[in-house]
Amino acid sequence: MDSPLFHGPGQLGIPWVDSPLFESQLATSSASDAQKDLARRFGRDGYLVLDGLIEPDLIDEILEDSKRFYDPRAEFDDLPPQVVTLLKQGLEQAHSCRVQDAWWVSDAVKRLAAHPRVMETLRFLYQREPIPFQTLSFPVGSEQEIHADTIHFDSLPSSFMCGVWVALQDIEADQGPVIYYPGSQKLPVVRLEHLNQWAEDRSVAAGHNYDRFVEYVQAIVDTGAFEAKRLIVPKGTVLIWSANLLHGGSPIDTPDAPRHSQVTHYFFDGCAYTAPVLSNLMIGEAFLRNVWDIGLQRHVPHVIGGRTLEPVGEYGRLQRLRLADSPAIQDVGAAPELGAPGMGM
């Protein structure tokens, strides 16, 4: 029991609040009673609703900037073409209008993604450094099917990921509020092998595999085992959901009702970062995410147990990982170039 692995929260490759050692570590922690309560609730329910964290002025600045990034005619000549494609592609969707990674063109979006009070809360909940790696800006409800983010974004070891959703306006029941299922984060993390699926080299397979996942989640919801909650909240409210919590966007009852919100997705440091829906993790083939820290504006390496990993070989879009400092397997092949920042899905 002298190993630091068992003393320090955040040392194990299991998120702190899910760890069997959580309660005993909490008992000896210097955290305030209020913080302890927060961590316990996050562990039990898989989410937290917080208010008073975000300055109204910052939200107004985002809303002002969003007029430009939601405008389909806006031109961004100073940006790399692949970033412009990224910014524009969600606007063209008939359903679920959104802009991915608007932080490229809005400093306010970037500041919300790396907001010190959000970062501080996540750092405490996970006892690791949070990495904001993707923003999604929504002018209307997403009407997104119920899912867990672990199918899109998961770490190795698993579940060092969360979403933070911020209401940029008051949200009422008819505007397609976020829907979520408290406690569902305790279900097993599901990957393709649990659904009898494989990731193929061609991207077309991803949609098919995702459909199977959505059917699986819907079957869980249909059992009635989890109570649905809808997020009807004032402007400025923050919802944190853990990676495996089931959530989505409820139907919009009033057509064209706005539902301005920003979601930022976070990983935590000391992990490798994958897209499970595009990976065969059961046989060590990973679609690795190219993680760009939006706050620090730097690339984040894949690290497990303090040792850096690098990708080797390529199987279509899939790769294997090896320890960068392991001489034994130096001859496996050269690591391919990593792509441009922010190009993860």
User: Which of ligand AKG, Fe ion, none does 16 bind, CB closer than 5 to 8 A by kind?
Assistant: none
Q: Which is nearer to Fe ion, 100 or 319 (CB)?
A: 100
User: Of 281, 271, 273, which Cα lies nearest the Cα of 191?
Assistant: 281
- Smallest gap from Cβ 204 to ligand AKG, in A, equals 23
DSSP string of 244-264? T--EEEPPBSSTT----EEEE
Q: Cα–chain-centroid distance for residue 92?
A: 23
CB of 24 to ligand AKG, least distance (A): 32
Is residue 154 close enough to count as binding Fe ion by CB under 5 A?
no
Considering the complex, what minimum distance in angstroms separates the CB of residue 19 from ligand AKG?
A: 24
Closest CB 174 distance from ligand AKG, rounded Å: 14
15 three-state secondary structure: coil
Residue 51: which of 112, 117, 2, 95 has the closest Cα? 117
Residue closest to 177 by CA, chosen among 261, 254, 250: 250
The identity of residue 165, as a single letter, is W
Tokens 């190009």 correspond to 343
Of the two residues 22 and 273, which places its CB atom closer to Fe ion in the complex? 273
Q: Which residues contact 270 (CB under 8 A, 6 or more apart)?
A: 128, 160, 303, 304, 306
Which one, 265 or 320, has the nearer CB to Fe ion?
A: 265
Q: Which is nearer to Fe ion, 149 or 293 (CB)?
A: 149
CA distance 289 to 152: 10
Candidate residues 149, 154, 285, 293; the one interacting with Fe ion per rule CB under 5 A = 149
What is the nearest approach in angstroms of ligand AKG to the Cβ of residue 206? 16
SS3 45: helix
What DSSP letter does each residue of 125-150 carry, written as one string? Answer: HHSS-EEEEEEEEESS---PPPB-GG
In angstroms, what is the minimal distance from the CB of 210 to ligand AKG? 13
Q: Whose Cβ is closer to Fe ion: residue 149's or residue 285's?
A: 149
Residue 138 touches which member of Fe ion, ligand AKG, none, C-beta under 5-8 Å by kind:
ligand AKG
d(CA 164, CA 120): 13
Taking CB atoms, the residue at the shortest distance from ligand AKG is: 249
In the complex with Fe ion, the residue whose CB is nearer, 178 or 318, is: 178
- Contacts with ligand AKG by CB under 6 A lie at 136, 138, 142, 144, 149, 163, 165, 178, 247-249, 261, 263
Count the helices and strands in the chain (H runs, E runs).
8, 16
CB nearer ligand AKG, residue 21 or residue 97: 97
Q: How far is the CB of 334 from ligand AKG (least distance, A)?
A: 35
Binding partner at 142 among ligand AKG, Fe ion, none, C-beta below 5 to 8 Å by kind: ligand AKG
Chain residues in the site for Fe ion (CB under 5 A): 149
